[in-house]
A = this chain, B = another copy of it.
Amino acid sequence: MSVTAARGFRASGISAGLKESGRPDLGLLVADAPAAAAGLFTTNAFPAAPVVLSRLHLAGGACRAVVVNSGQANAGTGEPGMADARATAAAAGELLGTGPGQVLVCSTGVIGPRVKMGELVAGLPVAVEALDDGGGPGFARAILTTDREPKEVVVHADGFVVGGCAKGAGMIAPDLATMLVFLTTDAAIDPPLLDEVTRAIVGPVFNGLTVDGCTSTNDTVLVLASGGSGVEAAPGSRALAVLEAALGEAAEELARQIVADAEGATSTLVVHVSGAASADEARAAGKAVAGSLLVKTAVFGGDPNPGRLLQAVGASGASLDPMEVSISLAGHRVIEAGRVVAFDEAACAEALKEREVVIRADLGAGDAEATCFGCDLGYEYVRINAEYTT
């Protein structure tokens, strides 16, 4: 049910003709009443037009609707692209009677071309007509580009629900930009607190995810809270703690689904870093390992290679005591006190064939920790990214 599992939300997904394949390409998510809303956006210096617009519309901390198109990213499109994003919000706001400022816009697809506005504007009334409180899966499908599967999650908390869906992972595909994540809840929470929780709990999960190290122009995470459950997540309340845990769980589950579906990947890398001086440094070390080409290809090839792990941790910039660092690979201790040690290479190579490979690193420099998600890199990644021609 993903984004419509929480009370107060309806959604739809239709084929508007934006994708040449004819697959669903227009998603609409609507809150029955203004929902508290928080967002996280790409740090790329070339944010796509819908990113610029949505950031602006989110300033009030509330929204009624999110329009998502797949097929064209509306990035690298200059002022005409901004006009297209504004026209999209205006058309949806008009149809829904909310005004444009209550509408957020997301796009994903090829960078450069303008959105097929004729098709999009013609499709919007159809999407409004199709809105349904069971429309989450249709919405989750309409936002996909080269994903193999939709990515959905529902977490049942104490009296309320957190649901969500996502697409993509970094700029994994032939210039099809973006990770988009939508989380909804029927807990009640004030916008400034929702913003805080989103930055503190949801942000780090997706910042710890790496597929190809390429920060897209369109990355967007939106969290909407309808209050439909009547459960009030007030500052300091138990309900707030439960909501934080549920949002964290939902985000982590979507992150796992994203890397599992990363193009060309055959296995997921889960990198736990402990003993770091700060959570940011733990994440930096974890991403350095999960994002290392040498680690990714070694896992793909089933080669237990401690030197590459040592190299990646050492180059991450995280504070560490070289004589205290220990690292295990798929359950085998390969680095002790900063030295490569003997281990059962055949058994470790066998363990690297699992669908999920866990790497644990302790930096010996503090108490902070973090978990990062990545994937291996093999021929299929090269094929997908090289053999596609524009």
Contact = CB atoms under 8 A, between A and B. Distances in A.
Q: Which of A110, A175, A298, A379 has the most CB of B within 10 A?
A: A175
B385 A322 contact: no
B303 A386 contact: yes
Given A44-B314, A45-B313, A111 B306 contact: yes
A258 interface: no
A134 interface: no
Contact of A315 (B43, B293, B308, B311): B43
Interface of A: 43-46, 73, 75-78, 110-113, 171, 174-175, 177, 212-217, 292-294, 297-298, 300-308, 310-316, 318, 320, 322-323, 325, 335, 337-340, 345, 349, 377-379, 381-383, 385-390
Nearest to A363: B45
22 contacts: A44-B314, A75-B310, A76-B335, A76-B338, A111-B310, A171-B308, A175-B307, A175-B308, A212-B294, A214-B292, A215-B311, A215-B314, A216-B311, A297-B381, A297-B385, A297-B386, A303-B388, A303-B389, A304-B390, A305-B390, A349-B389, A382-B382
A338 B301 CA distance: 40
A302 B389 contact: yes
Nearest to A302: B389
A18 to B, nearest CB: 17
Nearest to A76: B340
A320 B45 CA distance: 7
Contacts of A76: 306-307, 310, 335, 338-340
A80 B326 CA distance: 18
A98 B307 CA distance: 34
Contacts of A322: 45-46
A281 to B, nearest CB: 11
Given A76-B340, A171-B294, A385-B298, A310 B46 contact: yes
Nearest to A308: B175
B306 A215 contact: no
A378 B387 CA distance: 10
Contacts of A307: 73, 75-76, 110-112, 175, 177, 217
A245 B177 CA distance: 43
A51 to B, nearest CB: 11
Contact of A378 (B77, B113, B382): B382
Nearest to A291: B213
Contacts of A175: 294, 305, 307-308
A338 B78 CA distance: 7
A114 to B, nearest CB: 10
A306 B78 CA distance: 14
A97 B389 CA distance: 63
A385 B27 CA distance: 41
Contact of A44 (B298, B315, B339, B349): B315
A323 B292 CA distance: 33
B312 A214 contact: yes
Nearest to A78: B339
A251 B73 CA distance: 41
Pick from A44, A45, A171, A389 the residue with the most CB of B within 10 Å. A45
